[in-house]
Amino acid sequence: MGVKTSLNSKGELSAQIAEAIRAAIISGALPFEHRLPSEAELSDQFNVSRPTVREALKRLAAQNLIRTLRGATGGAFVNRLSFEEAYAQQITTSTLLLSMNDVSFETACEARYALERACLKLSATRRLPDHLATMRAEIHRQGQPGLSDESFCNSDVAFHRALVDGAGNPVLSYQLAGAVEAMQPLMNMITFTARSREKIICFHTDIADAIEGGDAKKANTALNALAEYTIALAHNVSDRHRQNQSGVDSDQSEITRSSSTEPTE
């Protein structure tokens, strides 16, 4: 029996090994919770050293494909990708993509509201009392005086999450999580005046009312109004931004310290 697996392709060994194992997982040859051979056995099978195997396993761990446990019964186990993990991955990827490709606020906004619009009909018929309660609660929170911009944006995200989750389709929620959450940094750029908050809350209330009444059409109208208003707000901000902006080129080259760091020596 061919226990040894040769790798002919080119490139780094750890990448090849990671790819081989990933393919095995995706194909279903390695079922969930299945324990991979130990690092020592793998390095034997692939005829490489243990550090190389470890680099391969770390690659897979970074993609949530496996978890590793220490100890006598430890090892690397095929991870069942949960919706939670998928959400998180989706969000980080979306956030990075947006921040790295200077997507215009208009484009991102358009995408976000277009996607949300897709949920309205389902949400209007299926939303549970929970979702509605969350929406109402967030609206209330948004009306609190003295709420920071960041908190307001967080609440905004929570409101829309509830709206999306109301559709009762986890796949839909997963797909939209990235769109909604990834917008947050961009949203945070907008300094909401009291007046604009008031209007936004008004739109939110309209949406919640429509969802409560099962009126998808009315919800759609309200969401459209919110979308238009948001984009208009952003337009103002970006105009002001353009005026203030000069060629600022930060030249930091040190890695930012993690929260728990201290200079040594």
Partner DNA sequence: TTGATCCAATTGTCAGACAATTAAATGTTT
Partner DNA sequence: AAACATTTAATTGTCTGACAATTGGATCAA
Which 168-227 residues touch a second copy, going by CB under 8 A? 169-172, 174-176, 178-179
Using the rule CB under 7 A, which residue among 1, 6, 8, 72 binds DNA?
Answer: 72
What number of residues does the chain have? 265
Using the rule CB under 7 A, which residue among 51, 170, 185, 213 binds DNA?
Answer: 51
Pairing state between β 66-69 and 75-78? antiparallel
Residue 255's binding partner out of DNA, a second copy, none, with CB under 5 to 8 Å set by partner kind: a second copy
Give the integer Cα–Cα distance in Å for 205 and 144.
15
Residues 6+ apart with CB under 8 A from 138: 155, 156, 158, 159, 162, 204
**Amino acid identity at 55:** E
Residue 243's binding partner out of a second copy, DNA, none, with CB under 5 to 8 Å set by partner kind: none
Nearer to a second copy, 239 or 262 (CB): 262
- Contact between 3 and 41 under an 8 Å Cβ cutoff? The reply is no
Shortest CB 114 distance to a second copy, Å:
4
Which 2-21 residues touch DNA, going by CB under 7 A? 12-14
Q: What are the Cα distances from residue 85, in Å, to 28, 45, 82, 181, 211?
A: 19, 30, 5, 14, 29
**What track of x and - describes contact with a second copy for positions 77 through 116 (by CB under 8 A)?**
---xxxx--x--xx-xxxxxxxxxx-x---xx-xxx-xx-
Give the integer Cα–Cα distance in Å for 249 and 251.
6
Q: Which residues bind DNA (CB under 7 A)?
A: 12-14, 36, 38-40, 47-52, 54-55, 57, 68-76
